[in-house]
Chains A and B, each alone.
Chain A
Amino acid sequence: MFHRILVEEWQRVLSIVSITLFFAVFVIHFIRVRRIPRETIAHMEKLPLENDDHE
């Protein structure tokens, strides 16, 4: 296993776990946002543009 070569102290494995976690989070969200329906995005991005009588 690669951890026997790379990991001299058990704490060092945390760097590997962290990077794996980050890429998993990044990839999952990237895929997810690609699949959000166009109408949902259109609705969300217009939310700040709805004016009240101030504006």
Chain B
Amino acid sequence: MSTAITGAGPGAKTRIEYDDTPVRQFMIASIFWGIIGMLVGVVIATQLGVWQANFATPWLTFGRLRPLHTNAVIFAFVGNMMFAGIYYSTQRLVKARTASKLLSRIHFWGWQLIIVAAAITLPLGLTRGKEYAELIWPINIAVALIWVVFAVNFFWTLARRNEPSLYVAIWFYIATIITVAMLYIVNHLSIPTSWTHSYPIFGGVQDALVQWWYGHNAVAFFLTTPILGIMYYFLPKAAERPVYSYRLSIVHFWSLVFIYIWAGPHHLLNTSLPVWLQSLGMIFSLMLWAPSWGGMLNGLLTLRGAWHKLRTDHVLKFFVAAVTFYGMATFEGPLMSIRSVNALSHYSDWTIAHVHGGALGWNGFMAAGMFYWLAPRLWRRPLHSPAAANMHFWLGTVGILIYMLSMYVSGITQGLMLSATREGGTVLAYPNFLDAVTSTKVLMHVRALGGLMYLVGFVMLAWNIWKTARGAEAVNGSIEVFVPEKEKGMGIVAGFLNAPVIYTTLLFVFAAGWAALPGAWSAMCIVGLIATAAMMSMNFEFSKKGWSSWYDRLLVNALPFTVLTVVAVFIGGLVQIIPTVMVNTAKSIEGVRQIPYTPLELAGRDIYIREGCYLCHSQQIRTLVGDVLRYGDYSKLGESIYDHPFQWGSKRIGPDLSREGGKYPNSWHFFHMRDPRQISPGSTMPTYPWLYTDKTDTAALPNKLSVQRKIGVPYGPMTDAEIQQDCDKQAAGIVADLKAAGAEVPPEREIVALISYLQKLGKSEKVAPADAPKTAAN
């Protein structure tokens, strides 16, 4: 049986066979990679309590496995799940078979190849050093290309649809496709130094802002909007009743899409990010309460009159728990974005509890519910064991609760201990950072147990679906449809050049001008505002056409709808990023300028990034009493302007390293990296024996320095020989110093370069305003 839609004229009745092969493929891939990602999660959770679990092996250390865990869960587990849900629901909502089987195949196999490439490169230490954006540049290009293939296949399917209206789930998918593309491209702009290494074009505060604009919206548009689309399709299906309020879903969509993009700076509260940006991030995060809870309630109330089904229906159990976790996580997120709450929660395990509520509760349970619903339909056979599915639900739920509770206790303990002072706030109550580590060590074991329970639940799901599909015939769904009369599309020109859009734009421009411009310009803007309102009123009075006719047409025209979604998400990005690029002036580097790294220090920095040190050590002293007492004066913008990528970090499993340079002798670092517990009893840091045997890659430095110059770091001209001489000279000094302290090592070893970098941290020069660079990028 195949699609009969081609050639059928308007009004004809025809049977369509959906292409469910990609749905099955993505579902199986999601389960497989999900188990791998969760297993790595259990391993790294164990490493935090038992340092020996790092096995003194480079590719098994926490710093290299943690990016593998996050990337596997986000892009492999949730990514594949999202594609399965989108391919299944889109075909049915638009009553058309997926446009191209070939593009579906390229999408599936391309995405799996990307995941395999990530699983190989990340443990090898090939990374860009930015969270959730670690993959090296050739893989970034592959991701962008495969995303375009997905987008073409999706929009092509919409163009061939037999249902004129676009259900709200489709809106969420459109927003996902467009916004993820925009975020991914901007945050991955880099200049390569080799086939496996590059430096991002942004540095310091710019890089921090772009990274968290991306990082926050990866959560928003990769882990939330597509899954909300899936919720709006699969939850009514499972409950066998329409969504509680379709009107609410429309308000939910537009307000969520419009607000989410602005909230990124809440990841940088109390840092050296300009205060106005911090306030903007906080305000928009608080406003997110409204749409998030609107969506959550809309999901839960869809079960009105069907709550009794929860007792027996395993699919609904997963969906309801998932939506509840969504509600909890989206209540907690804005709460943590309040600066005073963030002072306690940030850099602690509280954040880890929060993200796992979202990932395990919302994403993981939505995935499980969807898979249990899909499997019997995709293989036309009842689920092998509903009892096992029920057990999976309870094992997973208890696992999440154990995990989250342990991380709340750990996070709040860490936050309180590390900020506690005595004697009128002049002395730290716990001056040794390790006090917070040892106090919470037992909770790391509890967290690993919770994660293990969740993983076992997913292994049960894999077994259950395998038993359901084994020996059964894979079948595609089919449906009879009437081919509708084709309406003439609105077109992109008419999408913009019409009265409502023109009047709205004028109103916004004049309102902004009135607020921002001085004197006569401001008065002119008020006049403009009144004139526009009057013209608008007359226009509608005489034309007898309301805004609604335009809006109704927009909702059935995918292209202009997509463009307006881009505009909605673009405004938030532009407002944050353009001023940040422009604020790098004498005033905002706060009279301090970073001294660029020497070639050896740069090589050491790349080793630091390769080993994922930024995942446990921040380089940002916040404007908080506890931070300043512990680490010194708060970080200034100018202190990291040449850092490509920035290394402010997001979690402190170890202390901040912003001012590490000169704090301890070279020998301290030498012995500490070899055996951290020799220097710091109770430390959970891995050992790094390979740094004492592997040679520093100085041959790559000429290319690296050349790229650093291009992105604005003021290196003078140096020949290859001069670079090598500079490295040799600095290494010889460190080696001589180490020898005097009883530590012998050849100068070309990686530990020497790493020590040179660590000893440079916090070194800056005072700058008079007139001498300050106009921009960091030039």
Contact = CB atoms under 8 A, between A and B. Distances in A.
Given A11-B579, A29-B255, A45-B246, A52 B515 contact: no
A29 B250 contact: yes
B246 A41 contact: yes
Interface string B492-513: 0000000000000000100110
A44 B168 contact: yes
B575 A14 contact: yes
Interface stretch (B189-197, B273-281, B407-415, B646-654): B273-281
B583 A11 contact: yes
Contact of A26 (B236, B240, B251, B283): B251
Given A10-B516, A41-B247, A48 B169 contact: yes
B237 A48 contact: yes
A25 B583 CA distance: 29
A43 B163 CA distance: 11
Contacts of B241: 49
Interface in A1-39: 1-3, 7, 9-22, 24-26, 29-30, 32-36
Nearest to B15: A53
B522 A12 contact: no
B26 interface: no
Contact of A50 (B92, B232, B514): B92
B236 A21 contact: no
Contacts of A15: 276, 279-280, 283
Interface string B571-602: 11001000100010000000000000000000
Contacts of A46: 242
Contact of A52 (B92, B233, B242): B92
Contacts of A10: 516
Interface range for B: 35 or more
Contacts of B571: 21
B477 A54 contact: yes
Contact of B515 (A13, A53, A54): A13
Given A44-B246, A47-B93, A29 B511 contact: no
Contacts, number: 129
Interface string B137-181: 000000000000000000000000001010111000000000000
B206 to A, nearest CB: 14
A11 B515 contact: no
A53 to B, nearest CB: 5
Given A35-B548, A36-B247, A49 B240 contact: yes
Contact of A48 (B93, B280, B548): B93
Given A14-B579, A48-B169, A49-B240, A30 B251 contact: yes
Contacts of B168: 44
A30 to B, nearest CB: 6
Contacts of B475: 54
B287 interface: yes
Contacts of B290: 26
Given A33-B247, A43-B165, A52 B18 contact: yes
A24 B276 CA distance: 22
B272 to A, nearest CB: 15
A5 to B, nearest CB: 12
Interface in B457-504: 475, 477-479
B477 A48 contact: no
Nearest to B242: A45
B283 A19 contact: yes
A22 B259 contact: yes
Contacts of B77: none
B380 interface: yes
Nearest to B244: A45
Contacts of A29: 250-251, 254-255
B377 A11 contact: no
A20 B510 CA distance: 12
Nearest to B274: A11
Contact of A54 (B250, B283, B377): B377
Nearest to B583: A11
Interface in B381-433: none
Nearest to A24: B508
Contacts of A17: 511-512, 515-516, 575
A34 B233 CA distance: 22
A22 B258 contact: yes
A22 B287 contact: yes
B89 interface: yes
Interface of B: 18, 89, 92-93, 163, 165, 167-169, 232-234, 236-237, 240-243, 246-248, 250-251, 254-255, 258-259, 262, 274, 276-277, 279-280, 283-284, 287, 290, 377-378, 380, 475, 477-479, 508, 511-512, 514-516, 522, 547-548, 551-552, 568, 571-572, 575, 579, 583
21 contacts: A1-B515, A3-B516, A10-B516, A13-B512, A14-B280, A14-B575, A15-B279, A24-B508, A25-B258, A29-B254, A36-B247, A36-B250, A36-B548, A44-B165, A45-B246, A48-B169, A48-B236, A52-B92, A52-B479, A53-B477, A53-B479
Given A17-B512, A19-B283, A54-B377, 13 more contacts: A11-B579, A13-B515, A18-B284, A26-B251, A47-B93, A47-B163, A48-B92, A48-B233, A48-B242, A50-B479, A52-B479, A55-B377, A55-B477
The 4 closest A-B pairs by CB, nearest first: A54-B477, A45-B242, A52-B477, A52-B479
